Amino acid sequence: MKNPSPAPMVEPGGAWAPWRCSYCGAALLPHGEGLRCADEDRWFGTDGGVHRLLPAERRRALQPFLELYQRTRRDEGWRAERGLPRVPPGHPRAKLWAGRALRFERGLALAAQSLATTRWDVLEVGAGCAWVSAQLVERGHRVAAVDVNLDPFDGLRAADRLLDAPLRLARGEAEMDELPLAASSFDLVIASGALHYTHDLPRTLVELRRVTRRGGVLLVLDSPTYRRRPDGEAMVADRMAALERRYGLSIPRESQSSYLVRGELRGVFGSAGWTLEVHGWPGPLRETLRDLLEIARHGRRTARFPILLGRRDG
């Protein structure tokens, strides 16, 4: 996946993406109902509009996590809905989606200030149902989305429910820290509600930089962020205990999403080649007052959701 990139291929319906072989990094070309690596004579099938690019051994390793994740999301009522992040009045998660909508629009405005063009090549990682990608496709950008969750109601296949012409969105089954995509291919990389799922943040940030063009940006939205690591660990422990009560199973720590730590962000982004801006973090007085209120209500400080904007160094 370190090979230089020719011009991106165009897929049926106008979707595009410079896909690469997950094993050797060579360019993939359309072949039948899928993509073919000529260098290794290897074929990757396309299922429900999603290129199955995840290596077989990784798919097997991720299966227990995916089964628990999909079951939890289904039981909690998560599913793709037309028009996200806008939801009708009375929606059970109206407040949550209102916050996401505000951060999404503000994040795009911040990204636009850094990008030289108004039409972007965009990659969304950990895309879920790809509502962010759908919004950007409708606004005229070229967009690719990747995730390991292909659920037809809440994963990459659910993007069919969000777009009139789903083939305009290029979709691939892939992990965010091992992207089957050519280097320097995207103006904007977005991780919306996703970056806290990585178990190796430095490695993931380096990989996201690899596929970003010079002058491009990384936009991180809706990842829970704490000033103090013990508060994040308490959140994870609470969630694991709740799942164990619900399902009567022992929940392994590695199966759970994590969180970001405010004081570590600038260093870890900087070491991966990003200049970081943090937007939306409260000032000292407001943060202290909120901490006191949260401790009184919940017994601990809860997460904040700043907008993180990374500018690619060099």
Concatenated DSSP letters for 231-258? HHHHHHHHHHHHHHHHH-----GGGS--
Range of the domain at 130: 50-312
Q: How high is the mean pLDDT of the chain?
A: 92
Answer yes or no: is 172 within a domain: yes
Q: What pLDDT, on the 0 to 100 scale, is given for residue 275?
A: 97
Amino acid at 245: R
Q: What pLDDT, on the 0 to 100 scale, is given for residue 1?
A: 46
12 pLDDT band, cuts 50/70/90, is very low
* Spatial contact of 272 and 237, defined as CB atoms under 8 Å apart: no
Whether the per-residue pLDDT at 307 is higher than 60: the answer is yes
Alpha-carbon distance of 180 to 174, in angstroms, equals 7
Answer yes or no: is 13 within a domain: no
Both structure tokens of 135: 């919004």
Alpha-carbon distance of 251 to 243, in angstroms, equals 7
Q: What pLDDT, on the 0 to 100 scale, is given for residue 291?
A: 85
Answer yes or no: is 37 within a domain: no
* Spatial contact of 125 and 146, defined as CB atoms under 8 Å apart: yes
What does the pLDDT look like over 24-43, one tens digit per residue? 999 999 999 999 999 999 99
Alpha-carbon distance of 167 to 196, in angstroms, equals 29
Please state the domain count of the chain. Answer: 1
Answer yes or no: is 186 within a domain: yes
CATH number of the domain at 128, please: 3.40.50.150
Compute, in degrees rounded to 10, the torsion defined by CA atoms 33, 36, 42, 46.
-30
Q: What pLDDT, on the 0 to 100 scale, is given for residue 188?
A: 98
What does the pLDDT look like over 107-147, one tens digit per residue? 999 999 999 999 999 999 999 999 999 999 999 999 999 99
* pTM for the full predicted model: 0.93
Instruction: Give, in order, the Cα–Cα distances in Å from 104 to each of 22, 96, 98, 260, 308.
Output: 31, 12, 10, 19, 11
Whether the per-residue pLDDT at 7 is higher than 80: the answer is no
Answer yes or no: is 25 within a domain: no
Answer yes or no: is 18 within a domain: no
Alpha-carbon distance of 311 to 270, in angstroms, equals 10
* Spatial contact of 269 and 205, defined as CB atoms under 8 Å apart: yes
Q: What pLDDT, on the 0 to 100 scale, is given for residue 205?
A: 98
* H-only helix segments in 115-228: 131-138, 201-210
Amino acid at 218: L
Answer yes or no: is 181 within a domain: yes
Q: 153-178 as b/e, with b when 16 or more CB fall inside 10 Å? A: ebbbbbbbbbbeebebbbbbbbbbbe
Q: What pLDDT, on the 0 to 100 scale, is given for residue 93?
A: 96
Answer yes or no: is 24 within a domain: no
11 pLDDT band, cuts 50/70/90, is low
Looking at per-residue pLDDT, the higher value among 251 and 112 belongs to: 112
Q: What pLDDT, on the 0 to 100 scale, is given for residue 290?
A: 86
What does the pLDDT look like over 283-296, one tens digit per residue? 888 888 988 888 88
Both structure tokens of 61: 């390793």
Q: What pLDDT, on the 0 to 100 scale, is given for residue 55?
A: 96
